[in-house]
Every structure is written in structure tokens, then in C-alpha cells.
């Protein structure tokens, strides 16, 4: 797979108007106050889901909620504070949602960062890996019991085609400021998204009706993309609105259940894509899982 020759199909396999009615469904979307996450929240809300928009910036998150209410006429959209740079915040966010005693049918792990300089989370984890993978890993595990009790349900992890540039995960060097360039850190975190999805399926979801899949949303014109690729690729990018289509396909399309899609990787617009060889490595997925669990336990014990 070569991400530098990726093109978006002219004909869309999935579009917003194919989203079924979601009355009675409850959804969580991380990073929902802007970009792909915002349009994901908007369209879920438009189809009558009860949506929780999760984000770090309270002011922007609440503003996004009010805009979505105005645009869709559905008042069942709420903001919950989530700072993925803090494992404590992840735990508090999960507890706040669980205290509502609602079902959870759709969990979309959408938030992501790519850093301009080497930086650590509040827990001392390299930021790309910590935000893009570790925070979402913990959030998903904390909400798993609720998700399984609400099945049929979906878990959607937004990865990137740039995962294919990662040649594994260098666990021992993740927090070494001199070990990788900025792009390599992001690529490894996006590879982790896919490996986590597949290992999660194997450990917890076999035989049930919880469908966990990962995706590449497309080369979406966002600040994150502009820090990750060349000007040539940016010129062929799609809008954040179109970037939400594949996420919404994984989250809502009846095809996911009809075709029993689990641990699959999708590309625009709702088409199954090809993972890199490293993303298919079951041993690497297992090692990542164990490494992440140990890392979380170690960091939380320090609190």
C-alpha cells in the first residue's frame, strides 16, 4: 500500500442520506467540536440519536453542541469534558457518562493529534501515542460493559492510511525525544489504532453483537493533515464533511451487521481497504495490548 497514490473514489458507496433512523440510540464521539468529529456528531444527531460530544475545550465543545441543536432541531446532544492527555480525565469522563445510566450503542474514537515538537501527556506518555491510542484504549475498556449490555453496538476507531508507513511499534523508544521524527510518532499511533481494534475483537467481542472496526477517513483538509503531508496531497484532499462519511458508515450502516464486519479496515467512502502487513500482525497486536495495559496501570498507580 502506498498512501501517496491514494485517490478518493468519485462514486460514494455511502452517503449521509443512507444513515438509518437512530431514534433510541446513544452515541459518544471524541473530538467532536470540530472537523470530522463535528460533522459526525451533527449527522448522528440529525438522525435522532442522543449524542455525547466529548472534547478538551469546554467553551468550543458547548458552542458546537448549540450549533448542532440549531442545525438539526434535535436537542439530545450534550457535551462531556474529556482530556485525552490525562488518564484521570478519561476515567472521570467515563464515570460521568456511566452515571447517566443510559445505554451506549455507538462509540467513535475520533480525536487525534500530531505534534510539532516532542511533548508528553500529563502522565508522561509521548503525546501522539498517548492521545491517539492510550487514552482511547482506556476509555473503550471503561465503557465496554455498558456497550456489551446495549448490543447490537458499534465501536469505531479512526485511524489513517499513514499507518502503512509505520514499520512496527518501537515500544522501548516511544518516550525518547531523539528516537523518531514527528511523522513516525503519528504513524505508529495510527498503526496502534488498528492493532487495538483487532485485538479488542479477539479478546472481548467474539460471538456477540458488538462490531469494532477501524478506518481511514480520507485525506481530509484539516490542520492535522497540513502538519502531516505535502502540499501536493493537500491539493487532492476532501472536506471534513466528506471525511465523516466513512466513520458514519462504520457507525450506522446496516451492512456492518448484515455482513458481520469485525476487525475490518475501511477507506472512503465505506469501502473495505487493505491494512499494512504490520497492521495484520497478531503478535504485535498482542504485545501492544499488554504494553498498553501495563503502561496504564503503572501511570494510574502513580496518581
Distance separating alpha carbons of residues 180 and 211, to the nearest angstrom: 34
Distance separating alpha carbons of residues 6 and 167, to the nearest angstrom: 19
Distance separating alpha carbons of residues 262 and 210, to the nearest angstrom: 8
Q: How many degrees, rounded to 5, is the angle at CA 163 between CA 9 and CA 1? A: 55
Distance separating alpha carbons of residues 69 and 46, to the nearest angstrom: 9
249 has catalytic annotation:
no
Q: How many degrees, rounded to 5, is the angle at CA 100 between CA 77 and CA 66? A: 15
Q: Which residues contact 302 (CB under 8 A, 6 or more apart)?
A: 123
Distance separating alpha carbons of residues 72 and 78, to the nearest angstrom: 13
> Cα dihedral angle (27, 214, 177, 83), rounded to 10 degrees?
0
186, 249, 265, 278: the catalytic one is 186
* SS3 label, residue 54: strand
Query: Is the CA virtual torsion 183, 289, 248, 63 positive or negative?
Result: negative
Residue 8 sits at φ, ψ, to 5 deg, of -90, 135
Peptide bond into 31 cis (omega under 30): no
Distance separating alpha carbons of residues 16 and 133, to the nearest angstrom: 28
Q: Which residues are catalytic?
A: 186
Amino acid at each position: 500500500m502506498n498512501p501517496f497514490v491514494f485517490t478518493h473514489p468519485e462514486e460514494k458507496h455511502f452517503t449521509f442520506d443512507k444513515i438509518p433512523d437512530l431514534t433510541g440510540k446513544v452515541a459518544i464521539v471524541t473530538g467532536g467540536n470540530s472537523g470530522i468529529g463535528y460533522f459526525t456528531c451533527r449527522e448522528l444527531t440529525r438522525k435522532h440519536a442522543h449524542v455525547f460530544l466529548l472534547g478538551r475545550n469546554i467553551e468550543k465543545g458547548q458552542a458546537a453542541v448549540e450549533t448542532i441543536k440549531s442545525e438539526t432541531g434535535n436537542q439530545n446532544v450534550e457535551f462531556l469534558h474529556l482530556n485525552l492527555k490525562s488518564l484521570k480525565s478519561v476515567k472521570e469522563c467515563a464515570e460521568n457518562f456511566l452515571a447517566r445510566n443510559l445505554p451506549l450503542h455507538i462509540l467513535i474514537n475520533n480525536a487525534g493529534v500530531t505534534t510539532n515538537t516532542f511533548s508528553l501527556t500529563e502522565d508522561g506518555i509521548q503525546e501522539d501515542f498517548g492521545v491517539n491510542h492510550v487514552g482511547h484504549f482506556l476509555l473503550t475498556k471503561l465503557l465496554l460493559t455498558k456497550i456489551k449490555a446495549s448490543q447490537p453496538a458499534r465501536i469505531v476507531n479512526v485511524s489513517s492510511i499513514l499507518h502503512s508507513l509505520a514499520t512496527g511499534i518501537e515500544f522501548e523508544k516511544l518516550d525518547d525525544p531523539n528516537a523518531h521524527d514527528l511523522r513516525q510518532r503519528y504513524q505508529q499511533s495510527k498503526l496502534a489504532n488498528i492493532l487495538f481494534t483487532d485485538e479488542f475483537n479477539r479478546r472481548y467481542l467474539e460471538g456477540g453483537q458488538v462490531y469494532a472496526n477501524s478506518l481511514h477517513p480520507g485525506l481530509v483538509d484539516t490542520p492535522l493533515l497540513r502538519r502531516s503531508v505535502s502540499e501536493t496531497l493537500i491539493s487532492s484532499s476532501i472536506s471534513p464533511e466528506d471525511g465523516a462519511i466513512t466513520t458514519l458508515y462504520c457507525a450506522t450502516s446496516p451492512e456492518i451487521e448484515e455482513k458481520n464486519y469485525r476487525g475490518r479496515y475501511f477507506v472512503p467512502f465505506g469501502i473495505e481497504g487493505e491494512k499494512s502487513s504490520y497492521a495484520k500482525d497478531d503478535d504485535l497486536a498482542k504485545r501492544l495490548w499488554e504494553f498498553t495495559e501495563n503502561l496504564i496501570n503503572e501511570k494510574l498507580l502513580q496518581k
